[in-house]
């Protein structure tokens, strides 16, 4: 069962486009909306416009004039991106984080259901458990005390 969600990301260089398509392959179904920042890069914007049309997603583009330095104004950028999300769920990914999983099962819907039930506030991903992570009732998950902007649902 697919759920409506928005995918939020920054695609600043064409070389990272393959990482974005890897993320879309990693997710069990496509987003309804993509909210993207291109830092004025017409090439990457065009690539994502074509991709959004291909997968049937709405595309919301961050205005170039919103920020002048994405590294030092990330909070303002992320806040604007999240403010544009109309879906009940949002996933934010970084293009310097490679998406990887070993199964093809729909892990996303159960994660959304846990959030809806109030069992968790968010889902995040990592390859290595943090020393404060604790096992969850589901053996495939852990409870964490940290968050990363690399992958957040």
| Tens digit of each residue's pLDDT (9 = 90 or more) over 52-91 | 999 999 999 999 999 998 888 988 999 999 999 999 999 8
Which residue, among 40, 39, 36, has the nearest Cα to 49 in the 3D structure? 36
Q: For 89, phi and psi rounded to 5 degrees?
A: -135, 155
Cα gap 22→16, rounded to integer Å = 10
**pLDDT at residue 127 above 60?**
no
Give the residue with greater pLDDT, 105 vs 7: 7
Instruction: State the angle between helix axes of 42-55 and 17-26 in degrees (0 to 180), rounded to the nearest 10.
Output: 20
Mean pLDDT is lowest, of 10-14, 53-57, 99-103, for 99-103
* pTM, two decimal places: 0.81
Cβ 135 vs Cβ 143: under 8 Å: yes
- Cα 110 to Cα 147: distance, rounded to the nearest angstrom: 19
Q: How far is CA 80 from CA 33, 35, 37, 60, 61, in A?
A: 15, 10, 10, 11, 11
């Amino acid at each position: 069962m697919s759920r409506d969600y928005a995918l939020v990301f920054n695609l600043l260089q064409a070389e990272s486009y393959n990482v974005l398509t890897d993320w879309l392959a990693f997710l069990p179904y496509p987003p309804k909306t993509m909210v993207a920042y291109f830092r004025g890069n017409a090439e990457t914007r065009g690539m994502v416009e074509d991709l959004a049309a291909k997968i049937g997603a709405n595309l919301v583009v961050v205005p170039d004039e919103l920020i002048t330095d994405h590294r030092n104004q990330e909070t303002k950028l992320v806040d604007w991106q999240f403010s544009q999300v109309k879906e009940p769920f949002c996933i934010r990914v970084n293009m310097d984080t490679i998406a990887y999983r070993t199964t093809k099962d729909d892990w996303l819907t159960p994660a959304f259901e846990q959030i809806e039930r109030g069992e968790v506030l968010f889902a995040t991903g990592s390859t290595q458990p943090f020393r404060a992570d604790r096992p969850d009732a589901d053996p495939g998950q852990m409870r964490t005390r940290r968050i990363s902007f690399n992958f957040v649902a």
